[in-house]
Structure 1
Amino acid sequence: MEKSILYILHIVCLFVPFLTPAMAWGAQDKSFTVVIDAGHGGHDPGAVGKRGREKTINLSVALKLGKLIEDNCGDTKVVYTRKKDTFVALHRRAEIANAAKADLFISIHTNSLASRNSRVSGTETYTLGLHRTEENLEVAKKENSVILIEDDYQQRYAGFNPNSSESYIIFEFLQDKYMAQSIDFAQQVQKQFKTIARRIDKGVHQAGFLVLRETTMPSVLIELGYITNAAEEQYLLSERGSSALAKSIYQAFLTYKQGHGGTLAPVAAKNVPVLPEQEEKQTGLSASGAGTVSAGQASEKPVFKIQILTSDRVLPSKSRLFKGLAPVGRYKENGIYKYTYGETTDYNRILRLKRSKVDAKFKDAFIIAFKNGEKMNINQAIREFKRNR
């Protein structure tokens, strides 16, 4: 099955004009640039298992992924943040991606738990945002703690303490204009891990990762598996395992790239918020009495909503996937149906609604905004709301 998929993808890539595969800083005439970031390195080993180190696993998968893209996709420039066992500061990784004007940033990591005899296993992919569970927070703390071995981390990261929960509040407002694309790619990665590598799917999540904070393109952080699980560590260290994981990310990359084409601009998708079965006024805030607007009405003020889930098909209005929330709206973006709950021009009210009714049911839900029927940057929307208060 794997060989058949890769053969078909190879044939597809041959239809684009062939160019010499790029090395770390390849030719400038590529139409799509991807930055592959192997986490940790050098004097920073990352998570340590009984037999291996995270930095080695990350680099092995990163190099295999890069080679698959270089060998098969002539229109793509591949940039690596490191190709050897060297230390690269978190801020420098983002600088490399921004300087390359990348279209996609993929940071590769390996997970761990405090117990080295843990049975927990599986892959998960993160986008930038505020953690919704303590488990997600712990993953972010682990990956961000590398700044503590940087010489000037207090000045460089403006006093950010990777071990303090309070420091992560800032990520509530860092769901940038590329969030939708980041989530789309993350979902593709998890799908291929399950299909090609046959790994346990632990889902797509949000958390406050410093390495993603400064990137100016769609970005994800991938956790390949748990080095603290003996069986999974053996898989991660094996040639078969690292190759299957690289092929999975490669398949996700091709699917994502085919859907997004060349250089990505911020999404301004038309809002289609009402399900066919729901032509009446939709608020989702009736219980709280918050100020609402008509779902189909364009507003000169930003309209805030809570995105709860996505689907590749239209879901019925009473789908069990909505977990009892009603009414639920939807809009379509890049071929994906995205479902929302609540609608108001008051950011504080949508935030309270999210915390009181949504977070317990959808731990990775996040707030989005529309203006005049088009999706807009959430940070800009919040600033406009504050100015108009």
Structure 2
Amino acid sequence: FYSFEEDDSQAFLKDYFGIVGLESVLFVLKEPYWYNKSRKVKDGDPRFWNARGTVRDFLREVYKVSIAPIKTEGKVRKDFINNNAQNTIVLGAHYDHLGYGEDHNSLYTGKEPKIHNGADDNASGTAALIEIGALLKKSGNKNNNYLLVAFSGEELGLYGSKYFVEHLNDRAKINYMINMDMLGRLNDSTRGLTIGGFGTSPAWSSIITTNDPYFKIKIDSAGSGPSDHTSFYRKDIPVLFFFTGTHSDYHKPSDDADKINYTGQLQVVKYIYNVIGQTQNAGKLTFTKTREPNMGKSSFKVSLGIMPDYTFSGNGVLVDGVTEGRAAEKAGIKAGDVITQLGEHKVTDVMTYMEALNKFNKGESTSVKIVRGKEEMLLQVTF
């Protein structure tokens, strides 16, 4: 962005970020391979690894520019398909991920920092957002306007969507919100697709059915959950949340493009587009409150260290992955096991599993009842 004299660059910064009269530049300097901490350098600038001479003088000038303020005006641009309709449908997906794991949300246990590209979480959702937007632009579905938003700050606590919905003009005109988070790992065998927010409007029961010819639909009635639809639900807006399930690469550098099921994701995109089409003549959907799940990241005192399969519709919690070095692995729990009881607490689904976890404190031990294949087993776990 430092070549700000170009008309195209100026127009782009103004239209998309509200930045005008750019006078600043992002300045990042990593430690050079030749830097020797023990070596004293006369006239070296300690801010720049003791650089001196022409290099030091150049970096000093760049540094001055880097701390100058950025002037902004107007509002950040959002993609809006205006059909001059009374109501607007919000389509959203978060586009942030974990970087090198600096915020300690990563499940990667290696010593060398690695980039987390987040192909499924959530490049898959943002790709679906763009594709569905293109389809709607060309379609005859003109009874609603469409607002396409890519949120940041989701991994840190839904910051982007929360700010957006709280500062949204004409919030009363929002018909409903669709959130797409992790759509890229559809299992070709089970074709499990979880749809959350089913209970946030009576209209969803006439549109979404578990008897689907392609997908094995698992319905979750709750309007809240660990993703951006929660911010809209809490403002009394009907929501839907689409999710193809977690996996052993979740929040790890191995969540990369070579693992994406592109054919499966295309089918998910078509399904969501079809749902939107079926609401065209429904008018403004009625909102209904649902039971609030206790899914906050700070609410759990202990953790087993498993990845549940959220698309599993049987009795218990199907273990999709086990984190190395955590309680579950030490207890002997393996991917493919089904947890049916923690201590004296029955586990019938993910919700009851989370409720059971909250009964225990760090350092406590208990029994875990699992089903492995056709065999029922009782293991001991220490949190």
The TM-score with structure 1 as length reference comes to: 0.26
Higher relative contact order (CA 8 A, sep 6+): 1
**Larger Rg belongs to:** 2
Larger helix proportion, structure 1 or 2?
Answer: 1
With normalisation by structure 2, the TM-score equals 0.26
